[in-house]
Amino acid sequence: MSGVLVIAESRRGELREVSLELISAALGVKDDAGGRLAVAAIGAGAAQHADALGADGVDEVLTVDASTEHFEPHVHGAALETLIEQEQPTLVLLGHTIDSLGFGPAVAARHGLGFASDVTRLAWDEGPVATRGGYGGKVEVELDFPERECVLLMLRAGAFAAAEGSGGAAARAVEVQAEPRTEHLGFRDVETGDVDITKADFLLSIGRGIEDKDALPQFEELADKMGATLSVSRPLVDAGWMPNARQVGQSGKTVKPKVYLALGISGAVQHLAGMQTAETIIAVNTDPEAPIFSVAHYGVVADLFDVADELAEQFE
């Protein structure tokens, strides 16, 4: 086949949201890539995800019912190699996740595929064009792969909208011979801090514009009043004012709330990387040239403290 091959992810039997995001990214380039989209689920009980992965526009769901119950890099790597050999895709999409980092880059290197990790945008210009950060996130770079017949890209979770609908794509089982080489001992949950900002529908996000740690309680109260969750830009975490779990951006969390209200945040690329897919972005900044206004749906050039006082009064 030419076309796109998506590798879905599941953990503890649950399909991960990134799988549907990969499908939606694939749909955006499917026609240019050769017109066919296959989505593969790998692991014990892979077939149970076939319906959920058969989103509108998916042509076929491939299930690799590998012997391991949990993620195993050698089994996943062998499955990916088999799928690439059988399906001959032009483009392979994986999530830029801990699991996929365990086998995706190795397979790309072994097979001489074009490769980019942590991709935040995907386009097509006679071949895939991947956007990702460069120079420690200071610039965005666009990569193309003119010499490669097949390109493997790892897409950042949360950077693409999730695909919807069920087109009822046919499912096909694929046999893979691979033995696990590691033993799964158990899961230990990561501490998410007091709150998970990635799940919030409404984020009130504050930046260096608040200037003083003593101003924090005012915004914690405002967030409470408005029914919002408080998040921050990195300087507030670096200063030790707020925990890392509240940080939005490239080295923090990628968030996708219905509403993102940014007070006193300039909109550096590293911050935008974590919030630009929010449904509605409202920015308040005294500087009319602040880059945050380039992604904001509504912009207010004003002192954030005046706006905060007014909001507190309105929500009283």
Ligand X SMILES: Cc1cc2nc3c(=O)[nH]c(=O)nc-3n(C[C@H](O)[C@H](O)[C@H](O)COP(=O)(O)OP(=O)(O)OC[C@H]3O[C@@H](n4cnc5c(N)ncnc54)[C@H](O)[C@@H]3O)c2cc1C
What letter would DSSP give residue 212? -
Q: How far apart are CA 242 and CA 60, in angstroms?
A: 46
Could you tell me which stretch among 30-38, 144-152, 193-201, 283-291 binds ligand X (CB under 6 A)? 283-291
Residue selected from 3, 54, 127, 252 as contacting ligand X according to rule CB under 6 A: 252
Q: How far apart are CA 215 and CA 103, in angstroms?
A: 46
Sheet hosting strand 151-155, strand order edge to edge = 114-119, 151-155, 91-95, 4-7, 37-42, 60-64, 170-173
| Per CB under 6 A, 268 contacts ligand X | yes
| Per CB under 6 A, 137 contacts ligand X | yes
CB-nearer residue toward ligand X: 128 or 274: 274
Residue selected from 24, 97, 247, 277 as contacting ligand X according to rule CB under 6 A: 247
Residue selected from 4, 40, 61, 265 as contacting ligand X according to rule CB under 6 A: 265
User: What is the H or E stretch that residue 310 is in?
Assistant: helix 304-315
Q: How far apart are CA 43 and CA 70, in angstroms?
A: 7
| Per CB under 6 A, 300 contacts ligand X | no
**Two structure tokens written together for 95:** 């999530």
| Per CB under 6 A, 271 contacts ligand X | yes
Q: How far apart are CA 63 and CA 79, in angstroms?
A: 10
| Per CB under 6 A, 288 contacts ligand X | no
Supply the minimum distance, in Å, between the C-beta of residue 198 and ligand X: 13
Q: Identify the bridge partners of residue 95 per DSSP, sorted by sequence position.
A: 155
CB-nearer residue toward ligand X: 89 or 264: 264
Residue selected from 209, 246, 259, 277 as contacting ligand X according to rule CB under 6 A: 209
Could you tell me which stretch among 16-24, 48-56, 182-190, 302-310 binds ligand X (CB under 6 A)? 302-310
CB-nearer residue toward ligand X: 64 or 268: 268
Residue selected from 208, 216, 225, 226 as contacting ligand X according to rule CB under 6 A: 208
Neighbour count for residue 73 (Cβ, 10 Å): 17
Burial class (CB in 10 A: 0-12, 13-18, 19+), 188: exposed
Residue selected from 90, 97, 270, 276 as contacting ligand X according to rule CB under 6 A: 270
CB-nearer residue toward ligand X: 158 or 274: 274
Q: By CB under 6 A, how many residues form the interface with ligand X?
A: 29
Could you tell me which stretch among 59-67, 122-130, 175-183, 261-269 binds ligand X (CB under 6 A)? 261-269
Tally helices (H) and strands (E) across the chain. Answer: 9, 17
Burial class (CB in 10 A: 0-12, 13-18, 19+), 265: buried
| Per CB under 6 A, 235 contacts ligand X | yes
- Tally the C-alpha atoms within 13 A of residue 221's C-alpha that lie toward its C-beta: 11
CB-nearer residue toward ligand X: 34 or 137: 137
| Per CB under 6 A, 251 contacts ligand X | yes
Q: Map residue 202 onto helix, strand or coil.
A: strand
Could you tell me which stretch among 67-75, 76-84, 102-110, 242-250 binds ligand X (CB under 6 A)? 242-250
| Per CB under 6 A, 111 contacts ligand X | no
Supply the minimum distance, in Å, between the C-beta of residue 133 and ligand X: 8
Q: Render 142-189 in DSSP notation, one character per residue.
A: EEE-TT-SSEEEEEPTTSSPPP------EEEE--------S------P
CB-nearer residue toward ligand X: 54 or 209: 209
Q: How far apart are CA 266 and CA 278, in angstroms?
A: 17
Query: What is the contact surface with ligand X in residues (CB under 6 A)?
Result: 136-137, 207-209, 233-235, 247-252, 264-266, 268, 270-271, 274, 284-287, 290, 303-305
